[in-house]
Chains A and B, each alone.
Chain A
Amino acid sequence: MIKQYSGISPKSDLLLIQRLCKKLEGKSFLHVNSTREGGGVAEILYRMIPLLKELGIDARWEVIEGDAKFFDFTKKTHNALQGNTEKFTRDMWDYYYEINKKNRRKIDLKADAVLIHDPQPAPLVEYRPKTGKKSKNVWMWRCHIDISRPMPSVWSNLKKYVIQYDTAIFSVSKFAKSLPIDEFIVTPSIDPLSDKNRDLTENEINEVSEKFSIPRDKPIILQVSRFDRFKDPIGVINAYKIVKKYNDCRLVLAGSSATDDPEGEAILNEVKEYAGADEDIHILMMPPDYHKEINALQRMSDIILQKSIKEGFGLTVSEAMWKEKPVIGGAVGGIPWQIVHGVTGFLVYSPEGAAFRIRQLLNNHEMALRLGKQAKEYVRNNFLLTRQIRDYLSLWYSSMHRGENVIEL
């Protein structure tokens, strides 16, 4: 499986992965998150686990189970950690803890390295198996969301669990907190071989264009994201409306639902209502496994937007960049880590800014081509799955050499 990345990923990333897997051969690596489908975390784990297994690591992926009450609560905490004000009661926190306690009975937590993704399963650390000094396990908490300005009470409740880990991992520096444990920065990644990112034939692209009745007769502007206020779908429609006065184009808003996101449908309806009867606005709600369709939509588009006003990392930006498309992104969360303004895309701060850059790109084909090419190379060197696997293995291995800044392999 790793050989399939040869010629796509940087050679040194593949070499380092192989070297580290030799060093860690036979050891176990457990990942736990809260959804099998939908969202960037599940997509990455879906590819990463078999790849690690092939390289001799005993890798496992477990998903915690919860009911609607649990996921309503974790959605609220998700929003509150990203800065929204929400109401919480002590009972809600107790329920959150109880659900994790129940999951602990179903999930075997014994592993040499454990990586817990996001706040939903964070309390599992309370059930961390005891080990001796020589066979010490490593527990890492991976935070995929922007918690730079959280609702203080929510962060303080979550922090009780986080500080019990050996290491916390954040997607960008500004999400990191001042904690008494090691904190690393690991940017997330996309898989260039997945259905969402692999090369497609022109026929495959046309099939999707027909399937969703999107004629390819005028430039297509696309935003792919969950229907979520933080992705600012209304702002995208406003940008489109400004552009439309000067340049004819279509707008496609495509999103999928995730089992841990109960708000999606309400926002989708709001967006549909705002778009009105404009035949050039296409709003698509897709099942979470429509990866090839998303890929085709990105490839048939001329410009791709990720106009978030709050973002974790915003992997759809890297996905679009990988397809050599000029991307316009909100300057929030991890988006500025992917878009080097004017080099690999444009950063904007308002619907008006997005509209201006769309018009600029629609009128300057050479600029659109140049940004797209540079964007693809930037993703190749920084945001492919193999780099993220390399980083997780490096972190695990470096935890066995604590205190050393330079580790020779």
Chain B
Amino acid sequence: MGKATAPFEFKQCVSIVKSTGRKAKNLRELRNVIAKIGEESIFHHVYQYFLKGHMLEYTNDFAQWAGETLEERALAERMSCIDPYTLKSVNSVRHELLREIDEFLNCFPEPHDVVEGNEFYFNETVNLVFPVGVKTRNLAEFLVAIEHIDAGSIYYHFYDSRVRLGEGVMDDFSMWIEHTLFRKKIAEKIRAIDPFMHSIENIRECIKEIVEEHVRAEMEGVVD
């Protein structure tokens, strides 16, 4: 196994939650705040949903609230199908959310209020990014690191990268594996992991399994 020239440096993003002071007690209020709230808040409730670490029923905070608190499950399912990573901007995500809610409100124009305390609270975040002091130069080192790195670091390289690096880029791991280690097959397998269907710990396991399989094959002299 040859040494890679540019090591993979693991970083992590820690988010401090900031309240916007805005809240919604029914679907129409939710719609009206989504229409006006800053992009940072939409970003937090949709893109940073995966930071929570445990798999919930839906794929963003708005859908989760619609499904679990409003008990409007059909709407929640439709909002869950919005894939923020295929849309070009946070504003596109906003428009998709509004489109789904408006369609729903056209059919059911009188939304009910939730009990006090169960409102949707609009937040945003301040994010601190820092290297965690781990660099890997080859696949075997990468395998050890992925096993022990904090979940927040996996979030940063697997989810956050899709927004940070712009359209067409999936995750930092597969980028490095393809373009620095020249292992396209492994990169493709990592890219094939569905980001919506796993918790961060599941993502760790999936990546570990893929890389482990290739490292073992190399040790046994099997070439890709």
Contacts and interface: CB of A to CB of B under 8 A. Distances in A.
Contact of B152 (A12, A174, A177): A12
A170 B152 contact: no
Nearest to B120: A173
B221 interface: no
Nearest to B156: A12
B150 interface: yes
Listed residue (A13, A178, A406) with the most chain B CB atoms within 10 angstroms of its CB: A406
B32 interface: no
Nearest to B153: A12
Given A12-B152, A16-B130, A406-B127, A176 B121 contact: yes
A174 B21 contact: no
A390 B14 contact: yes
Given A12-B153, A174-B117, A407 B19 contact: no
B19 A173 contact: yes
Given A394-B126, A398-B128, A407-B127, A10 B150 contact: yes
A183 interface: yes
A213 to B, nearest CB: 40
Contacts of B161: none
A17 to B, nearest CB: 10
A16 B53 CA distance: 19
B54 A340 contact: yes
B138 interface: no
Interface in B39-82: 40, 53-54
Contacts of B12: 12, 15-16
B4 interface: no
Contacts of A381: 53, 151
A12 B132 contact: yes
Nearest to B11: A408
Contacts of A397: 128
Interface in A382-408: 390-391, 394-395, 397-398, 404-408
A184 B130 contact: no
A102 to B, nearest CB: 33
Interface in B105-161: 116-117, 119, 121, 123-130, 132-133, 150-153
Interface string B142-186: 000000001111000000000000000000000000000000000
A15 B13 CA distance: 12
A208 interface: no
Nearest to A382: B53
A12 B17 contact: no
A394 B14 contact: yes
Interface string A2-23: 0000000011110110010000
Interface residues of A, number: 38
Nearest to A395: B16
Interface residues of B, number: 30
A405 B127 CA distance: 6
A394 B16 contact: yes
A193 interface: no
Interface centre among A11, A343, A404, A408 (most CB of B within 10 A): A11
B88 interface: no
A174 B126 CA distance: 19
A12 B128 CA distance: 12
A10 B153 CA distance: 11
Interface string A167-181: 000100110111100
A1 interface: no
B198 to A, nearest CB: 16
Contact of B126 (A148, A178, A405): A405
Contacts of B126: 394, 398, 404-405, 407
A10 B149 CA distance: 9
B95 interface: no
A338 B32 CA distance: 30
Contacts of B3: none
Contacts of A395: 16
Q: Most chain-B CB neighbours within 10 Å: which of A390, A394, A395, A397?
A: A394
A407 B128 contact: yes
A186 B126 CA distance: 12
A176 B22 CA distance: 9
B189 interface: no
14 contacts: A12-B153, A16-B128, A19-B130, A170-B19, A174-B119, A176-B21, A182-B18, A183-B19, A185-B19, A185-B123, A186-B16, A398-B16, A398-B128, A405-B40
Given A13-B14, A16-B12, A406-B129, 7 more contacts: A10-B150, A11-B132, A15-B133, A183-B18, A381-B151, A390-B14, A405-B126
- Interface pairs A-B: 10 shortest CB-CB: A173-B121, A178-B21, A176-B19, A409-B130, A185-B17, A183-B19, A12-B150, A398-B126, A12-B12, A406-B127
